[in-house]
Amino acid sequence: MIEAVGLCPVDAVWGDGWSRDISRVGISDEALCRRVAERDERAFDLLVERYQQRAYRLAWSILRDAEEARDLSQEAFLRLYEAAGSFRGTARFSTWFYRILVNLCLDARRRRRWWQLAVAPVERDDGTFESVVEQQPAPSDDPIDGLAREQVVAQLWKAVDALSPQQRAALILQVQEELSTPEIATVLKCSEATVRVHLHRALLALRKTMRKE
């Protein structure tokens, strides 16, 4: 989808001194976004390079669907390209961009009610059943330790799936993306007090579920 804007990979655009300079001096995301507002495609390429993996990871954490996470993270970059002129610099670029991405993910959840599929049993080739979240792999070194770790990870993701969309988004933005409470409030378009409530309830729910397991 990003290719449809007519952009090229950042490592292929060192055609002038400015593009080499932005790589060398580490120009800020905010400055790059202002360049994107002027339709500087090289600046956009660099923002995509910086945020592509983080955007996918955040989208997947909310959606639990690899294809949908790819589609929506790419859609978020297209929205960024189109709306860069509306970025005023009153918040960090990452906060502004994550707001676009999280809104897309939450809207997709409301439309498709995907979470019902996440816990629905899926038949495997051997005739047994497991849920989609239980199919997510956990890295392991020792086979026995890896099995225990995989079970814990599956239980944790299952508990996260049971959270409300807002609770999950608040938790992921704090733990995974390390956003502050004010920044999370900006992303979710709510008060800081509401963010604290979401986080408190999410942690209580996770602890309760994990104790049951």
pLDDT of residue 97: 95
Whether 195 shows a pLDDT value over 50: the answer reads: yes
pLDDT of residue 21: 52
Give the SS3 label for residue 123: strand
pLDDT of residue 106: 84
170: nearest Cα among 197, 198, 194, 189: 198
Q: Please state, in angstroms and rounded to a whole number, the distance separating the CA atoms of residues 169 and 65.
A: 15
| Segment 196-212 mean pLDDT | 80
Whether 56 shows a pLDDT value over 60: the answer reads: yes
81: nearest Cα among 95, 63, 100, 67: 100
Average pLDDT, the chain: 75
| Segment 61-81 mean pLDDT | 91
Whether 149 shows a pLDDT value over 70: the answer reads: no
More confident residue, 18 or 29: 29
pLDDT tens by residue, 84-141: 999 988 889 999 999 999 999 888 877 765 444 444 454 455 555 454 444 444 444 4
**Structural domains of the chain, ranges and CATH numbers in brackets:** 1-112 (1.10.1740.10)
